[in-house]
Amino acid sequence: MPSMRSPYWLFVVLALLLAGLQYRLWVGEGSLAQVAEIKQQIATQQGENERLLERNRILEAEVMELKRGMETVEERARHELGMVKEGETLYLLAE
């Protein structure tokens, strides 16, 4: 009779081991759900990084243009601050 119990206990131990591994695969740390969530976060962050890199490229081009000449400075002063050159007359039309 003792030889009949040994395979049964071995089966129980292996089943518990398999259940523990399955738990970790589906629910525990490093589970498939956690991996999928991290991949989604990575994709979101990469999109944000691309957006910020494009913004940085635009700002860098603007800085370079401002360093090169006064035309850009003058254009910004006219557009953003409403400034005029000496000797010019500004006409504001009210609606």
Write the pLDDT tens digit of every residue in 53-95: 999 999 999 888 878 877 777 777 777 877 787 887 777 788 7
CA distances from 83 to 27, 65, 70, 92 (A): 64, 20, 14, 12
Residue 56, sorted as left (phi over 0), alpha (psi -120 to 50) or beta, turns out to be alpha
List, for residues 4-22, the tens digit of each pLDDT value: 557 888 888 899 998 888 8
Query: Hey, what amino acid is at 8?
Result: Y
Global pTM value: 0.50
> How far apart are the C-alpha atoms of 48 and 94, rounded to whole Å?
42
List, for residues 30-47, the tens digit of each pLDDT value: 778 888 999 999 999 999
- Six token digits for residue 61: 């081009």
- Six token digits for residue 18: 């398999």
Report the chain's C-alpha Rg in angstroms. Answer: 34
